[in-house]
Chains A and B, each alone.
Chain A
Amino acid sequence: MDFFNRMQSLDRRILYVLVVVVVSIPFMINISQPIYPTPPVERAFKAIEEVPEGKIVILASDWEFGSRGESEPQAEALITHMFRKGVKFAIFSTNTPLCATVGETVARRQALRFHKKYGVDWVNWGYRPASAAMLQGLPRDIWKIINVDKFGTPLSKIPLMQHVRNVDNVGLIVNISPTFSATLWIDYVQGRYGTPIVFAPTAVMVAETYPWLASGQIRGALPGLRGAAEYETLLGEAGYGRRAMNAQSWAHLLIIALIVLGNISYFASRKLKGAGQ
């Protein structure tokens, strides 16, 4: 009984060290497992493939450093696809001012790789506080609501924005977010103007995304890090997402093992306590 009690009150620092060791193993040994894309990710991939010629994508980048572990691989995969396909996009944030800057760092990295030019192939509209009024005005007159890009250049002087005045020139909205900010876009853009949405939530929001996928209000989704890894598979890239998913495998097995172990010691100590009494 003493053994099971000691098991239950195991110092949590031992558990923390165990996590570090277990999650590090797949990075050291590189045990690679295949990743099979699921329908939501395939639909997201298809949505970007089908963006009409001459229309841009609004990359609503609402993530910052707190969700970097998941949102950054998602952003990398999506931006890689858009650059590769030649789809032009505008980074825009409605969450916090930091989000537009963070999204831009990913875009710049990929722009170097694909030799894409700012203002011609992509642009950063910066941050505007999320409000119903702003999001209702945006689809009608992008130039008026956004006015200047993140660096203070008027949209009228940016080559990419010459033919982008309203929602008719937007082919897709891609929202990368740790919160369910896709509902703002559904409320005021998709619901009224029918612009399709691809949503890349962190894994916490994945369960809540499925009703919207089923109704078609969200066209496709990249569920967390897994979604990023699946997207990399579709792109044929061996990126960070795929490596990290191997580490995820071991972490998940550890959690399951700990839950089972914790319950075994709990029930065992209870049984022994009852027998002792």
Chain B
Amino acid sequence: MLLLLDSANRAFGRLWDRMFVAHKEPVALALFMLLALGVSIAIFAGLQLLPKKMKKRLIIGGTFVAGLFFLLEFALPGHGKNQDNILTPWIPRVGDAVLVIGAFTWGLGLINLTQVHGKAVARMKEGWYNSLAFFVGLFAMFGFGLWNAYAKPDENSHAWGKVAYEVLFLGFLSNLGASVFSLLAFYIVSAAYRAFRIRSHEATVMMLAAFVVMLGQVPLGQALTHNLTGPWAALRFERVSEWLLTGINGAAQRGITFGMAVGALAMSLRIWLSLERGSFFDAEV
């Protein structure tokens, strides 16, 4: 059976390589590209004519076949050091296709943001200048980013495009990103003072563990107990902290990981078999 599959796989591979041959001559290339585009449009037009039930089945079938590829690649017996089987050589091609198709989704986010902020600017809503700032940032960074990628200025160049790119990227983008996330430090201080109340025994245990770990990971905390020697050295903050992290925390995290992994596996199975329910999956075709 496996030999049969293997020969079928090789035959398919040869057919694939014969069908999809590169054509560098511009006219042939253009013709083949137009042909491919035409075939794609024809397929989509044909799919559009299908009855609703068939469309839903097509989605379910497509999802199933896509998942089946990797599942079979994992499950089928392999040979050699890496347990490669008949489907393994197809992985790089599938990987490439997924990479490119996935990259096109970026436009969805941009369109959404443009719609929201475009409306705000067009209708001069309250705070419209913020949306204008968004567009300034978007086009400036996109434009100068492309310029930098294509012009490839020298490291010592003082071209205005390079200066503008560096100011936008190293000056604004990097520091804005770091600043936004660093605000969390202030919020954690505020929360520590105002919200952390030891109202139960469990909370006491949690706080004590937190204190030990916090003191164990900073030099000042380590210095407080550094004079403990001999068997008492095991009670140094950094050692107790490491023991807590490796022992109890490690086991607890693993328990949580197992639970999450089984949940994720169940979810994957549900998605693969199109058993999942929800606004997206139950939407009318």
Query: What is A's interface to B at a CB cutoff of 8 Å?
Result: 8, 10, 12, 15-16, 18-19, 33-36, 38-39, 64-69, 101-102, 105, 128-129, 131-138, 140-141, 144-145, 151, 192-193, 206-208, 210-211, 213-214, 223, 226, 245-246, 248-256, 258-259, 261-263, 266
Contact of A137 among B96, B198, B222 (CB under 8 A): B96
CB distance B238 to A249 under 8 Å?
no
Q: Beyond the given A12-B190, A136-B73, please list 16 additional residue pairs across the A-B interface where CB-CB is below 8 A.
A: A65-B175, A69-B182, A102-B174, A131-B102, A133-B97, A134-B95, A137-B93, A138-B95, A140-B88, A144-B92, A144-B96, A213-B246, A252-B217, A259-B192, A262-B192, A263-B198
A68 to chain B: closest residue by CB: B178
A248 to chain B: closest residue by CB: B218
CB distance B197 to A66 under 8 Å?
no
| Stretch with Cβ within 8 A of A (4 or more), from B27-35, B128-136, B247-255, B277-285 | B247-255
CB distance B103 to A140 under 8 Å?
no
User: Could you give, for residues 172-197 of chain B, a 1 whenever the CB lies within 8 Å of some chain A CB and a 0 otherwise?
Assistant: 01111110111001101110111011
Query: What is B's interface to A at a CB cutoff of 8 Å?
Result: 70, 73, 82-83, 88, 91-99, 102-103, 152, 169-170, 173-178, 180-182, 185-186, 188-190, 192-194, 196-198, 207, 211, 214-215, 217-223, 238, 242, 245-246, 249-251, 253-254, 257
CB distance B214 to A255 under 8 Å?
yes
Can you name 19 A-B residue pairings with CB atoms under 8 Å?
A: A16-B189, A33-B222, A39-B242, A64-B177, A65-B174, A66-B177, A66-B180, A105-B170, A133-B95, A133-B98, A135-B95, A144-B92, A151-B152, A211-B254, A249-B218, A249-B220, A255-B214, A263-B197, A263-B198
Q: How far is the CB of B61 from chain A (nearest CB, A)?
A: 19
CB distance B182 to A255 under 8 Å?
no
Main SS class of interface, B = helix
Known: A65-B174, A246-B219, A256-B211. Contact between A137 and B193, CB under 8 A?
no
Q: How far is the CB of B264 from chain A (nearest CB, A)?
A: 11
Main SS class of interface, A = helix
CB distance A252 to B221 under 8 Å?
yes
A-chain residues with CB within 8 Å of residue B211 when the two chains form the complex: 256
Total A-B contacts with CB atoms under 8 angstroms apart: 163
Q: How far is the CB of B149 from chain A (nearest CB, A)?
A: 8
B-chain residues with CB within 8 Å of residue A248 when the two chains form the complex: 217-218
> Chain A CB within 10 Å — which of B175, B189, B211, B219 has the most?
B219
> Chain A CB within 10 Å — which of B98, B215, B218 has the most?
B218
Q: How far is the CA of A255 from the CA of B215 in the complex (A)?
A: 11
CB distance A137 to B253 under 8 Å?
no
Q: How far is the CB of A69 from chain B (nearest CB, A)?
A: 7
CB distance A210 to B219 under 8 Å?
no
A-chain residues with CB within 8 Å of residue B96 when the two chains form the complex: 137, 144-145
Q: How far is the CA of A253 from the CA of B83 in the complex (A)?
A: 53
Q: How far is the CA of A255 from the CA of B185 in the complex (A)?
A: 10
B-chain residues with CB within 8 Å of residue A252 when the two chains form the complex: 214-215, 217-218, 220-221
Known: A68-B177, A263-B198. Contact between A245 and B92, CB under 8 A?
no
A-chain residues with CB within 8 Å of residue B238 when the two chains form the complex: 36, 38
Q: How far is the CB of A273 from chain B (nearest CB, A)?
A: 15
CB distance B99 to A134 under 8 Å?
yes
Q: How far is the CA of A207 from the CA of B216 in the complex (A)?
A: 14
Q: How far is the CA of A263 from the CA of B208 in the complex (A)?
A: 13
A-chain residues with CB within 8 Å of residue B182 when the two chains form the complex: 69
CB distance A245 to B98 under 8 Å?
no
> Chain A CB within 10 Å — which of B95, B152, B174, B175 has the most?
B95
CB distance A136 to B95 under 8 Å?
yes
